[in-house]
Amino acid sequence: MKEKILITGAAGFIGSHLVEELVNQGYRVRAFVRYNSRGECGWLESSPCRKEVEIFFGDVRDYESVRRAARGVEVIFHLAALIGIPYSYEAPLAYIRTNVEGTYNVLRAALEEGVARVVHTSTSEVYGTARYVPIDEDHPLQAQSPYAATKIAADQLALSFYRSFGLSVVVVRPFNTYGPRQSARAVIPTIITQVLAGNGCVRLGNLHPTRDFNYVRDTVAGMIAVGLAANTVGRVVNIGSGKETSLKELLTHVETITGRKITVEVEKARQRPPSSEVDRLVCNNRLARELTGWFPRYTLIGGLAETVRWFEQNLHLYKPRVYSI
């Protein structure tokens, strides 16, 4: 059998898709899930791979539970993090404890338990508003939110363990991932859920930023390709489509797929502070292609169509008329 892999943040949006893909590829997977008294494991509860996955309940902020989870595994994919940007304005210390201290716990546990490799998940938010496009891995880092600041710290901490202690670390840096199971805090689920709920007017925040959207299956494929490649240790590698999409283009695509006309109302509560908004993100994915041969296979229209179909079947799990940070 293939290696045993630990995935932190396994019950979340990207994490649950990563679990399923690794199981489908024949890996033995241990899913690190945040402890709760109900014994629930998030999106893995209804996963077709649920019975094939070892569930480990713990908290990345607790070193001892992380070390026990790391025992006997060859690779760790570290995804556990607080990711909501608006909430990072309200509770920055919580982001430091989860994103920075949690990453430290994973790295230290990997070192102590002899884990062969740690694949650390970054985010394109660490670049801030693009100074040039497309954004490559040498682009300056600029924290425009407490969330981004903690992710920069976590990335650098991971790389320091590679340089200081010889821990095999790979930093994968996905751009804006979307798809089934995503939180409605993100712009694509926000639009889709409001449209499917019959809202005559979709409420959004800032309308001018552009993004590089990636379907979750492409993101997961990139994470595996980059994370497990022999020639990526000690590297930061972008995962993105290389295509820039405006909000206007995105709305037009959703209109086409759903057959519903969309009007937009800007809601102040959904807007970031002006200096905190990242205005432009578009990925240079050349390094990922050169090192691993990975490239995105889904078009934005194709990925959105699959996403809309999933939300049509699972709209009852969301609250389209409620804005939650």
Domain boundaries defined on the chain: 4-175+215-239, 178-211+243-280+298-317
Q: Does 147 participate in catalysis according to the annotation? A: yes
Instruction: State the Cα–Cα distance between residues 61 and 123, nearest whole angstrom.
Output: 20
CATH 3.40.50.970 for domain 4-175+215-239, yes or no, is no
Burial of 270-301, coded b for 16+ CB within 10 Å and e otherwise, reads: bebeeebbbebbbbbbebbeebbebebebebe
User: Chain-centre distance of CA 45, in angstroms?
Assistant: 19
pLDDT at 1: 61
Marked catalytic residue, from 104, 147, 178, 215: 147
Q: What angle, rounded to 10 degrees, do the helices at 300-314 and 247-258 form? A: 60
pTM of full prediction above 0.95: yes
The residues pairing with 78 across neighbouring beta strands, listed in sequence order, are 8, 120
For 178-211+243-280+298-317, CATH number out of 3.40.190.10, 3.40.980.10, 3.90.25.10, 3.40.50.300 equals 3.90.25.10
Instruction: State the Cα–Cα distance between residues 129 and 208, nearest whole angstrom.
Output: 12
Torsion-angle region of residue 242: left (phi > 0), alpha (psi -120 to 50) or beta?
left
pLDDT at 39: 93
pLDDT at 78: 98
Instruction: State the Cα–Cα distance between residues 146 and 238, nearest whole angstrom.
Output: 21
- pLDDT by 10s per residue, the chain, length 325: 689 999 999 999 999 999 999 999 999 999 999 999 999 999 999 999 999 999 999 999 999 999 999 999 999 999 999 999 999 999 999 999 999 999 999 999 999 999 999 999 999 999 999 999 999 999 999 999 999 999 999 999 999 999 999 999 999 999 999 999 999 989 999 999 999 999 879 999 999 999 999 999 999 999 999 999 999 999 999 999 999 999 999 999 999 999 999 999 999 889 999 999 999 999 999 999 999 999 999 999 999 999 999 999 999 999 998 887 7
pLDDT at 324: 78
